[in-house]
Structure 1
Amino acid sequence: MPQVTIAAMERLAVGAGVALPLACDWRVMGESCYLYVPEAKIGLNLQWGALPRLVNLVGPARAKRICILCERMPASQALAWGLVEEVAPDGKVLERTLELAYAAAQMPPIAVGMIKEAVNATAGALNRTASYADAD
């Protein structure tokens, strides 16, 4: 998809609520929101191609910690670890997300698409090689 995709995350993001934003280009999280990936507690792996995306964002050690320990992660930690690009005040997450979307939409679409494709091809090499894990 050549358009910029942005996830607005408020209150709580659990499991698929974390996996789906990982597929977006940018993530904006509310200041009191937290992330929670409980799959390991019920014997599952993170699905939907989310694990390689998570590794791309936070690195192998932090990805393992997030997925194995199933700790709740506050917005401040998600920002510090590079899991989200921005933390917005509660109640302003959607507004800030729309501001970013509007700003991106004002840019030349061909250039945006080319940049996004090049960045994704570079960063996504691991995503393609590790997608076999979804079958587990």
Structure 2
Amino acid sequence: MAYETILVEIEEGIATITLNRPEVLNALNSQVFNELGEAAAQLTADQSVRAVIITGGEKVFAAGADIKQMASATAVEVSSSVRPSMIAFNRIENMPKPVIAAIAGYALGGGCELTLTADVRIAAENAQLGFPEIKLGILPGGGGTQRLPRLIGPGKAKELIFSGDFIPAEEALRIGLVNKVVPAGQLLAEARKMAGKFAARGAVAVQMAKSCINEGLQMDLDRGLQYEHKCFSLLFATEDQKEGMQAFVEKRKPNFKGK
């Protein structure tokens, strides 16, 4: 599929999705969401892809939703227009492959919500993250009120959402909103390095580990432990498990095939 608002590149098993609306600071609109959702579906189906990076480039991640598109919308129109973002975000979050958000510059509102769908977030030192929706008389409507508290706890999430303030990369690191902060010039290289590390692991095990964490967060502890036990046991039916353990015994590097 030919995309107009994003770029998709695949190299050595790593797919990079780059938001590509620099003239409006990568503002998110329905077309962006539709294309993100389609890209997520295609990359999920592509067995050659082992890890995914989402970025806006080295200057800005995404400065939020396209307010001009939303300003005159009715409640019914907004309800309908939000669906593409929900579909896209859910597809990204549930991809059976590790997803890394590489964040430079502004990641605000819907842009910050997009980062929350990733498994890991790496921020450049110049990154600014926040949820300014409250200053417009609305609230985060792309999963921010649900994913953010699960990531950093309800108290900090409420502080960010109620205030609408932006926070710098180092503060985002301190509260657990991002995993790592690096110099701006090293952002994409660091994201690729981490993606390469994930891609080198057994793909089935990574997929099941991600499922255990994501699904387990929706369960009570007892059911989560049972689900983990089931996934752990199933991995012993895979070729990767046999290769991984045999390589350990033979003191060599494993050759995982994702089977």
- TM-score, normalised to structure 1, is 0.88
Deviations 1:82-122 (A, max 9, x none): 00001011111111111111110000000000000000012
Q: Which runs of 5+ in 1 are unaligned?
A: 126-136
- Structure possessing the higher radius of gyration over alpha carbons: 2
What is the Cα deviation at residue 57 of structure 1?
1.1
| 1:44-65 residue CA offsets vs partner (Å, 9 max, x unmatched) | 1112222211001110010000
Q: Which amino acid aligns with 1:64?
A: K
Distance 1:23 1:71 in 2: 21
Residue in structure 2 matching 1:18, options 101, 112, 123: 112
Number of paired residues?
125
Tell me what 1:45 maps to: 139
Mean Cα deviation higher: 49-58 or 102-111: 49-58
Pairing 1:6–2:85 present: no
Residues 23 and 50 in structure 1, CA contact (< 8 A), matched pair in contact too? no
Give the secondary-structure state (helix, strand or coil) at the position aligned to 1:35.
strand
Question: What are the within-5 Å matches in structure 2 for residues 10-89 of structure 1?
Answer: 10-89=104-183
Q: What is the Cα deviation at residue 16 of structure 1? A: 1.2
* Aligned-residue offset at 1:124: 4.1
The structure, 1 or 2, with the larger RCO (C-alpha pairs under 8 Å, 6+ apart) is: 1
Deviates more, 1:19-28 or 1:43-52: 43-52
| % identity of equivalent residues | 35
SS at match of 1:13: strand
Deviations 1:26-52 (A, max 9, x none): 000001211121101111111222221
Q: 1:107, 1:124 → 2: CA distance?
A: 26
RMSD between aligned alpha carbons?
Answer: 1.1
SS in 2 for 1:92: helix
- CA drift at 1:76: 0.6
After TM superposition, the runs of 4+ consecutive aligned structure 1 residues lying more than 4 A away are none
Aligned to 1:106, which of 200, 224, 244?
Answer: 200
Q: Distance in 1 between matches of 2:190 and 2:179?
A: 12
Distance between the aligned counterparts of 1:74 and 1:48, measured in 2? 21
Match of 1:128 in 2: none
Aligned-partner residue type, residue 75 of structure 1: A
Give matches, 1:92-103, under 5 Å: 92-103=186-197
* CA–CA distance in structure 2, aligned partners of residues 78 and 85 of structure 1: 9
